[in-house]
Chain A
Amino acid sequence: MPSFDTIIIGAGPNGLAAGHRLASKGRNVVVLEAASVPGGGAGLAHLSYNLDARVEAAMELSQHGLSWQHANLATTVLSPDGRHLRLVGAIGERLTGDIADTDRAAWEVLRARLLRFAAVLAPLNHMAPPRIAKGVGNPLTKLAMIGLRARMMGAAEFRELARILLTNVHDLLDDELSDPRLKGVLAFDATLGGWLGPRSPNSVLPWLVRLSGQTAGVQGALGLPQGGMAALGVAMVKAAGAKGVTIRCGARVARILVEGERVAGVTLADGTELRAGCVVSSVAPKTTLLDLIGPRHLDAGLTTRARHQKARGGAAKLHLTLRALPDFKGADRTDRLVIAPSEHAVEQAFNPVKYGRVPEHPVMEIMISTAHAPGPDGLHHLSAIAQFAPHNPVDRDAARAAMLAACLGQLEAHAPGIGALVIGADLQMPYDIEAAYGLPGGQWHAGELSVEQMLFLRPLPGIAQYRGPVAGLWLASAGCHPGGGVSGSAGWNAALAMEAAE
């Protein structure tokens, strides 16, 4: 067996980005993936919204097969009566459909402001979080530049950023807008993948993080890769492979070996031992610390904090196989379709989840891949991310059945007759996602992206700069700063931190 100096756990976007960077700096890297195919969480998402431009360029993803079928996909907010609202261009650059001029004007102002604020914060995504201590090598110039750029927006805008930063999405939207469909889709986007509703405190900041992303150089744009999101993972795999990274699938890491208080390699589930002095874990920090390293190699306080790190998933993934294309009352089926009739509907879908129950009217994002590229069998595939779903209900099977029925009910209301077209239905609740992807709680960001778990608090205070608590261990997960999505940012940042430590 060839020997490696660096083992990366998990062949998702972060693991592959880190592997690519480390291999191009001369390391001998193996990436171990539990699943039978690489790609990790990339397969979970519908669309790309925050692919890290550094990763995209350095990995030369376009040369390894990444192309955008739509680099700036439009969103249609479905209305049961066919009065759809369409958001064209990055986060509704233009609104089509009948909507009041006052809302159009107000949205133009608010949209520009949100994108501006997000852009000011965006450089934070490309650096290790600063540490709250003196003389620890914080990138003071970079931080000062972020502060300066925020201040250069002018006093009024700077004050507005400060005002909304820790407020909630509902109030922010309600201050400016009146159209329930517009407020609904924005509230949906803001809370997608999180465990919070639009009225939850601090829901604006995670939305700004989302809006700091880009596709093909356009901030806030949603990208649909040719071949779907899985193709993005494939391109990253090819790019990493071209740099000499070895990727082994079906290699589930059972333990990270610790010898003499240093990382010494990993043991796979089949008992195989792979030795290396450096292990980079791109699986969730909670899993890495509690399951792969284990409490006896960690301080008790850190173990407790890891146990208490919030990781609740609120999103379920629905897949339907359909006999024919459903009709969503005339909506363009190549759009991203969103069922989120109002900001209240989003909040009401979250309410029961707080108590471990299933909402009657979930809100959802729908993609019909076969509307873009019809399959050879003539069947159609609809995929939906439905919110909110309880991550730990009392009866998991009953909750899954109830969630499926609720989702189908919502779809039927917006596309009458769709139920009769269904020949296959599969719903992954957060706990199914946990089992399939190893994400604690089925949390899409490998740990909730909420204010108290961001920046130097992500994944946990004291280990937010990618260096793990055991010598030789590095954390490079979406559970680290800057968080989730199919970005590769955490992996890239981790590789940078490892270089800086050399």
Chain B
Amino acid sequence: MNPLRHFDTPLLKTPFHARTEVANKLWSWGNWGGYTTVLTCEDLSMEHSAIRNTATVYDLCPMIKYRIEGPEALAYLNRLTIRNLAKLSVGGVQYTAWVNDAGHLLDDGTLFRLAPDRYRLCCQERHLNWLLDSAFGFDVTIADETEEIAALSLQGPTSAEILRLAGFNVDGLKPFRMANFDFGTGRLMISRTGFTGDLGYELWTTPDHALALWDALFDAGSLHGLRPIGSDALNIARMEAGFIIAGLDFTPADTCVREDRLRSPLEMGLGWLIDWDKGHFTGKASLVRQRDKGTKWSFVGLEIDGNVSAEGAILYHDKKHEVGVITGACWSPVLKRNVALAQILTKHAAGVGIWTEIYALRELQYEKMMMRARVVDRPFFNHPRRRATPPGRF
């Protein structure tokens, strides 16, 4: 008999909670996927600054993680996702996305090839139904392993040095590769991945080693500016890096109510992921049709005049006609530029005559500004240290 006491804990605690609740000086909590997570520990500016100048630790546990294994895991994933996995060797990580039959985005995520027949898929939303439905006819097993793994994101220029000091040599680890280490009585997997567009790593272990991992990092990082951060600082960093998030920059197709809000990878700037030559995959026929016909929507990076964040602002052509919406925006502290991510009608994606209507709340009164927006390349922030191998000793 299920005691059905789930309402006693509307939000779960991650394996790092004992540390994050000490770090969360502002007691600023948010709900991420049903878990209690830190929004800002102490000071947003300092936390973002640490991502770009020293190093940061961020609790990744609520990220949804699926274990996909079996003799046909590769064939299964090649049908499920839009990218070609044949090129992903064991120890490699791939950024990818998956769509429904109509070619509409369900989610994007990272796929780790842990062994020849074993993968881990990490993503924002829950997709077990879709993954299981997709498994029909394939010799593969799917399991949600979100709660079996404790994960931390260690990001920033000094992150590699901190790992060295903690006893993990990651000098040879290239971006989108992973390595395994002994850790206490258990194992630690370190992947050179992240959501900041900077030098950084993600650390994966079991929940019983979570607190020891946290402590080991902070012991090693005390002289290298290591600080815990919350989601707010990470969100600024990810926008600087031009990364998108399901639910913020697009509405996942399986939860989308309004038909005109559905977006394909082509419309979300993810067309480069699609392998048109790998054979059939779910949604391919629809995507081919859309590719040949052209998309209605495009996804672009914008640079906007002024210094007021254009979060949620509407885009206009010639200050008159609505042509899109900003899905994420910030004043970038590191670039000293006002940047934004936006969905825009493809016919205006070149960015000629685009304006954005910003409402700035100043002491209880909105000031309306019509600011010029220019389409610029993403990522906005792109530092060579992200890719340098061995990583620099900062």
With A295-B136, A295-B138 already in contact, the answer to whether A300 and B279 are too (CB < 8 A) is no
**Contact residue among B138, B279, B282 (Cβ-Cβ distance under 8 Å from A261):** B279
Closest partner residue, chain A, to B98 (CB atom) = A300
A300 and B134 form a contact (CB under 8 A): yes
Q: A83 at the A/B interface (Cβ < 8 Å)?
A: no
A304 and B133 form a contact (CB under 8 A): yes
Residues of A within 8 A of B75 (CB): 296
**Contact residue among B137, B138, B279, B282 (Cβ-Cβ distance under 8 Å from A299):** B282
Quick one: which of B238-291 are within 8 Å of A by CB?
A: 279-280, 282-285
A304 and B79 form a contact (CB under 8 A): no
Residues of B within 8 A of A297 (CB): 280
Residues of A within 8 A of B134 (CB): 300, 303
Residues of B within 8 A of A295 (CB): 79, 136-138
Q: A180 at the A/B interface (Cβ < 8 Å)?
A: no
- A176–B331 Cα gap in the complex (Å)? 75
Per-residue contact bits, chain A 286-309, to B (CB 8 Å; 1 contact, 0 not): 000010001111111111100100
Quick one: which of A255-280 are within 8 Å of B by CB?
A: 258, 261
B133 and A300 form a contact (CB under 8 A): yes
Residues of A within 8 A of B280 (CB): 258, 261, 296-298
Majority SS of interface residues in chain A? helix
Whole-angstrom distance between the Cβ of A462 and the nearest chain B Cβ: 8
Q: B100 at the A/B interface (Cβ < 8 Å)?
A: yes
- A81–B133 Cα gap in the complex (Å)? 55
Residues of A within 8 A of B136 (CB): 295, 300, 303-304, 307
Per-residue contact bits, chain A 90-107, to B (CB 8 Å; 1 contact, 0 not): 000000000000000000
B101 and A296 form a contact (CB under 8 A): no
**Contact residue among B101, B137, B279, B284 (Cβ-Cβ distance under 8 Å from A301):** B101
**Contact residue among A261, A290, A299, A307 (Cβ-Cβ distance under 8 Å from B101):** A299
- A302–B138 Cα gap in the complex (Å)? 15
Q: B80 at the A/B interface (Cβ < 8 Å)?
A: yes
Q: B27 at the A/B interface (Cβ < 8 Å)?
A: no
Task: State the interface size on chain A (CB cutoff 8 A).
Answer: 17
Residues of A within 8 A of B138 (CB): 295-296
Specify which of A299, A304, A462 lies most central, judged by the most chain B CB atoms within 10 Å of its CB: A299
Whole-angstrom distance between the Cβ of B143 and the nearest chain A Cβ: 18
Q: B130 at the A/B interface (Cβ < 8 Å)?
A: yes
Quick one: which of B77-112 are within 8 Å of A by CB?
A: 79-80, 100-101
- A296–B279 Cα gap in the complex (Å)? 10
A303 and B133 form a contact (CB under 8 A): yes
Residues of B within 8 A of A258 (CB): 280
- A469–B133 Cα gap in the complex (Å)? 18
**Contact residue among A294, A302, A462 (Cβ-Cβ distance under 8 Å from B137):** A294
A301 and B282 form a contact (CB under 8 A): yes
- A462–B133 Cα gap in the complex (Å)? 18
Whole-angstrom distance between the Cβ of A341 and the nearest chain B Cβ: 44
Whole-angstrom distance between the Cβ of B93 and the nearest chain A Cβ: 23
Residues of A within 8 A of B101 (CB): 299-302, 462
A299 and B133 form a contact (CB under 8 A): no
Per-residue contact bits, chain A 238-266, to B (CB 8 Å; 1 contact, 0 not): 00000000000000000000100100000
With A261-B279, A261-B280, A303-B137 already in contact, the answer to whether A296 and B79 are too (CB < 8 A) is yes
Closest partner residue, chain B, to A307 (CB atom) = B136
Residues of A within 8 A of B133 (CB): 300-301, 303-304
Whole-angstrom distance between the Cβ of A137 and the nearest chain B Cβ: 16
Residues of B within 8 A of A302 (CB): 101
Whole-angstrom distance between the Cβ of A90 and the nearest chain B Cβ: 44
Quick one: which of B97-149 are within 8 Å of A by CB?
A: 100-101, 130, 133-134, 136-138
- A77–B211 Cα gap in the complex (Å)? 80
- A147–B138 Cα gap in the complex (Å)? 46
Residues of B within 8 A of A301 (CB): 100-101, 133, 282
Residues of A within 8 A of B100 (CB): 299-301
Whole-angstrom distance between the Cβ of A237 and the nearest chain B Cβ: 35
- A299–B138 Cα gap in the complex (Å)? 13
Specify which of B75, B134, B138, B283 lies most central, judged by the most chain A CB atoms within 10 Å of its CB: B134
With A261-B279, A307-B136 already in contact, the answer to whether A300 and B285 are too (CB < 8 A) is no
Closest partner residue, chain B, to A298 (CB atom) = B280
Whole-angstrom distance between the Cβ of B139 and the nearest chain A Cβ: 11
- A297–B130 Cα gap in the complex (Å)? 17
Quick one: which of A286-340 are within 8 Å of B by CB?
A: 290, 294-304, 307
- A297–B79 Cα gap in the complex (Å)? 9
Closest partner residue, chain A, to B129 (CB atom) = A304
Closest partner residue, chain B, to A261 (CB atom) = B280
Residues of B within 8 A of A298 (CB): 280
- A303–B285 Cα gap in the complex (Å)? 15
What are the 8 A-B residue pairs with the smallest beta carbon separation, nearest first? A295-B137, A301-B101, A300-B134, A299-B101, A299-B282, A300-B282, A304-B133, A261-B280
**Which residues in B have some Cβ–Cβ distance to A below 8 Å?**
75, 79-80, 100-101, 130, 133-134, 136-138, 279-280, 282-285
A–B pairs, 21, beta carbons within 8 Å: A261-B279, A261-B280, A261-B284, A295-B79, A295-B136, A296-B75, A296-B137, A297-B280, A299-B282, A299-B285, A300-B80, A300-B100, A300-B101, A300-B133, A300-B136, A300-B282, A301-B100, A303-B133, A304-B136, A307-B136, A462-B101
Q: A258-B280, A300-B282, A303-B134 are in contact. List 14 more A-B contacts (CB 8 A).
A: A261-B284, A295-B138, A296-B79, A296-B137, A299-B100, A299-B284, A300-B79, A300-B130, A300-B134, A301-B100, A301-B133, A301-B282, A303-B136, A307-B136
